[in-house]
Every structure is written in structure tokens, then in C-alpha cells.
Amino acid sequence: MLILSIDTSAIASAALLRTVPASDGVKASAAVVGSFATVDTRSHAEVLVPGIQSLFGDAAVEGPALDAIVVGVGPGPFTGLRSGIAAARMLSFVWNVPLHGVMSLDALAWDVSHNGYRAQDQDQDPTTGPPPPDRNPAGGDFLVATDARRKEVYWARYSQDGTLLAVPHVGPAAELPALPAFGAGAGLYREDLLARGCTVPDAFADAQPTAASLGLSAAVGLVDGGRLLASSPLYLRESDAKVPGPRKRAL
């Protein structure tokens, strides 16, 4: 199964992933074939489509050969999030490929629970080395947070294996539960979180959701026939734009 993954909830990113179904007692897995990501959080519309196009440079990998497209549905800012979802919907329609939504914070949760982190941020016996890659550095429930601007964060709580425990929220960092917090939102408001009783590992203090991790978090479920979300954006805030009211009479 070949999957195109797109996320613009923070940075603009895209990835191609190939899945391997379970067989002979070996669990289903997925690998990233190619990926693209920016560091700019404000240039999604300009860079996303060229970035996606760069993934299909190999003539043997064509759009119509895709089995699925997954897109991060947020939470995230209105303009950036719309860029990714609109591109995913357009490609799904043109290529006639099924489209699935994934909550963007799940990408960070996947990184925390599956990729581990460099262990310089916690006390450890130097003879044992860092924790294995599949060990969640939080050791239990944890939070992921991205920058929501307006001095707030988008955040959600996950169990040790990366399972979402509750719907995502938006609010001040000072109101988060006292748990380990990962992601650029946590790094941005480190002092508020530390005062709250959270820990903020340096290795994840700048981490943003990426399409590669988003695709990996969704791939195994797709292989097993699981259901993902629709592609409706998850904004969590009301739009600042308002529909104008009726014009006032001059007389």
C-alpha cells in the first residue's frame, strides 16, 4: 500500500509511505519512502504543492498508483490548515484516491511513543545508554502541545503507547495538567509549564507535527482496515472573520 501524507497544521510537510501487511506473526509496518518539510509556519500555500510534486520525481511512482491519502486536520490556524486540506481534497478527487483525516497532534504523539528521544534530558546511568527507541520517555501519560498563538497552545493527552485519551483543547499553557509535555508549544511556554509541575524535554521542545509521522501513525490502521477521521478541519476556535450584518439605512 502506497500512502501520501500531508500536514500543514504548523509547518508544511508531505511524505510518501509504503506499508507492509502482517504475515507469519510479524506485525504490519510502514516505512517512509520520501518526505518534504519546511521550517516556516507561514508559507504553506507557496511551498506545499511544489513539495508534494518533488516526491513524485521517480517516474515509477505516479499519483494514480496511490492507495490512500491522509491529511492532518488540525488543530491549527485557519489559513495554514486549509492549505493542506484543500490540496489533499483536490488530489483525492483528481486521482480518485480515498482520503482520510488524522488529528495532527497524533503525529507528535507517535514520535514520543515510538521514536524515543536522546536521554540527556533525564537522569540515567551512563553505563546503560539512552532508552530503546520504542520506549516512551514520559513513562506514562503525557501531553503534546503546539503553538496556537494568542499566548495559547493546542494540546491533547495521550497514554504511554500514544493512544489519545481525550479530545484536544486550546488554552493557556498554565492550565495544562502536570504531566510531561512535548512539542513546540511546550518549548515556547516552558516556564509556565515548569511552574505548573510539567517537565519539558529539550529534545522535543521544538518538535512540530510532520506528515511523515502523521502517515506512520495512520498506516498500520489503514493496513488493518481501520477507520480514520473525515477531512473536516479541527479548528477549536471561532473564526475571526464575521459575516457582515444588514446595511444601515441612510434615512
Could you give the 3-state DSSP secondary structure of residue 44?
Answer: helix
Taking the C-alpha atoms of residue 145 and residue 108, their distance in angstroms, rounded to an integer, is 8
The CATH number of the domain covering residues in 117-122+132-204: 3.30.420
pTM: 0.84
Query: What is the reported pLDDT for 16?
Result: 94
> At a CB cut-off of 8 Å and minimum separation 6, what does 13 contact?
6, 7, 35, 36, 37, 38, 51, 209, 210, 211, 212
φ/ψ of residue 181, rounded to 5: -125, 135
- Cβ atoms of residues 15 and 35 within 8 Å: yes
Phi, psi of 202 (to 5 degrees): -60, -35
pLDDT in tens, the chain (251 residues): 899 999 999 999 999 999 987 777 777 789 999 999 988 777 777 889 889 988 987 544 556 789 999 999 999 988 889 999 999 999 999 999 999 999 999 999 999 998 764 333 333 333 333 344 444 555 689 999 999 999 999 999 999 989 999 899 999 999 999 999 999 999 999 999 999 999 999 999 999 999 999 999 999 888 877 789 999 999 987 655 555 667 766 65
Domain ranges of the chain: 2-104+209-223, 117-122+132-204
The DSSP secondary-structure symbol of 248 reads P
pLDDT at 128: 35
Q: Are strands 13-20 and 99-102 parallel, antiparallel or unpaired?
A: unpaired
* Residue 85: per-residue pLDDT: 97
Pairwise CA distance, residues 194 & 174, whole Å: 9
Side chain identity at 48, as an amino acid letter? L
Helix (H) or strand (E) holding 212: helix 211-223
Residue 117: per-residue pLDDT: 47
**C-alpha cell of 13?**
510537510
Pick the CATH number of 2-104+209-223 from 3.40.50.300, 3.30.420.40, 1.10.4010.10, 1.10.3720.10: 3.30.420.40
Same fold, 2-104+209-223 and 117-122+132-204: yes
Query: What is the per-residue pLDDT for 191?
Result: 96
